Amino acid sequence: MTLSLPTPRKYGFHMNAVGMIGAAIILFWVVVAIVAPLIVPYPIGLIVDSNYLGPISAKFWFGTDYLGRDMLSRILMGARYTVGISFAAAILASFTGVTLGMVAASVGGIFDTIISRFLDALNSIPSLLFGLVIVAGAGSSITVLVLTLAVIYTPGSFRFSRALSVNINAMDFVAVARARGEGTRYIIVEEIFPNIIGPILADFGLRFVFIVLLLSGLSFLGLGVQPPNADWGALVRENMDGLPDGAPAVIFPSIAIASLTISVNMLIDNLPKRIRDRSE
């Protein structure tokens, strides 16, 4: 007699290979951003070679930049700025946007109208232009960059989470909770939020990509992270002189940006159904 065990319940998420690769690359850059100062082969400001815009060699894996500094070290440290600033800005934008969106959806009325109109108006300013104007006015310290990027992408996050929350808010279990006498705070934290968290995570990834692109664009124009520090966009700008010769110093930072943004897209498109469709 065979004794069949009940099939074990699966707790893990199933993700296809493309999504896994995306997740692995993102994880790689996050780890690099954290441990960069420990693993750089040369100090980032140090001019290590008289050969500027040098080719790939055993000593300098990614070549040297326009001053003869080691490119590998600069890219590893650049991850700190690109990933760090973008992540901080994306968290800030999503947190503000989602909170406001949930509150607007559950409170409704005049509060909802005012906040929706205001954020829509903010959204009608083209993002790169917004960045340029703020940087012109307030300079480009890292705090200003994070805040600017967060402000630019808050309206999108608000709209998305408000649309989701309005649907949840109309459901029976929310009506029941209200009838029980639960306050707005409880409704938001216990009823609405757990039901929109999946799509919100996917939206967060998308917003992160937009922010990386905008930050790189600003830095590329020389208006983002300022020397001697450099994020990947600034690294491309610094070494533009090497472009006509196809120097690795221009190509590798570009590849770094693309690898990050494309892998986030890959991950979002292949998120496990259990996360993506949790609201349904």
Partner 1 sequence: MSNSAARQVLLRLGVMALSLLIVAFVVFFATEMLPGDIAQVLLGQSATPQAVAALRHEMHLDQPAFFRFLLWLGGLLTGHLGHSYANNMDVASLIGGRLENSLKLAGITTVVSVPIALTLGITAALFRGSLYDRIVSMLTIFVISVPEFMVATLAVLVFAVHLGWLPALSFTYDVHGFFNLLKIYAMPVMTLGFVISAQMIRMTRAAVIDTLNTSYCEMALLKGASRRRVVLRHALPNALGPIANAVALSLSYLLGGVIIVETIFNYPGVAKLMVDAVSTRDMPLIQTCSMIFALTYLLLIAIADVVAILSNPRLRKR
144 is a site residue for partner 1 (CB under 8 A): no
Determine which residue in the list 37, 189, 258, 274 makes contact with partner 1, applying CB under 8 A.
258
Determine which residue in the list 209, 225, 234, 249 makes contact with partner 1, applying CB under 8 A.
209
20 is a site residue for partner 1 (CB under 8 A): no
Determine which residue in the list 85, 93, 223, 234 makes contact with partner 1, applying CB under 8 A.
223
Q: Residue 41: CB partners within 8 Å, gap ≥ 6?
A: 70, 72, 73
In terms of CB distance, is 140 or 157 closer to partner 1?
A: 140
- Which one of the spans 67-75, 120-128, 166-174, 181-189 is the region binding partner 1 (CB under 8 A)? 120-128
How crowded is residue 227: how many other Cβ atoms within 10 Å of its Cβ? 10
User: What is the CA 117 to chain-centroid distance, rounded?
Assistant: 26
Q: Residue 11: CB partners within 8 Å, gap ≥ 6?
A: none
Q: Residue 77: CB partners within 8 Å, gap ≥ 6?
A: 36, 37, 40, 44, 229, 230
Minimum CB separation of residue 136 from partner 1 in Å reads: 4
Q: Residue 242: CB partners within 8 Å, gap ≥ 6?
A: 53, 66, 249, 250
Structure tokens at 180: 């029980």
Determine which residue in the list 15, 25, 128, 147 makes contact with partner 1, applying CB under 8 A.
128
40 is a site residue for partner 1 (CB under 8 A): no
| Residue 148 Cα distances to 29, 88, 99, 126, 254, angstroms | 23, 11, 19, 13, 23
124 is a site residue for partner 1 (CB under 8 A): yes
265 is a site residue for partner 1 (CB under 8 A): yes
The residue ranges that bind partner 1 (CB under 8 A) are 121-122, 124-130, 132-138, 209, 213, 216-217, 220-223, 233, 236, 240, 243-246, 250-251, 254, 257-258, 261-262, 264-265
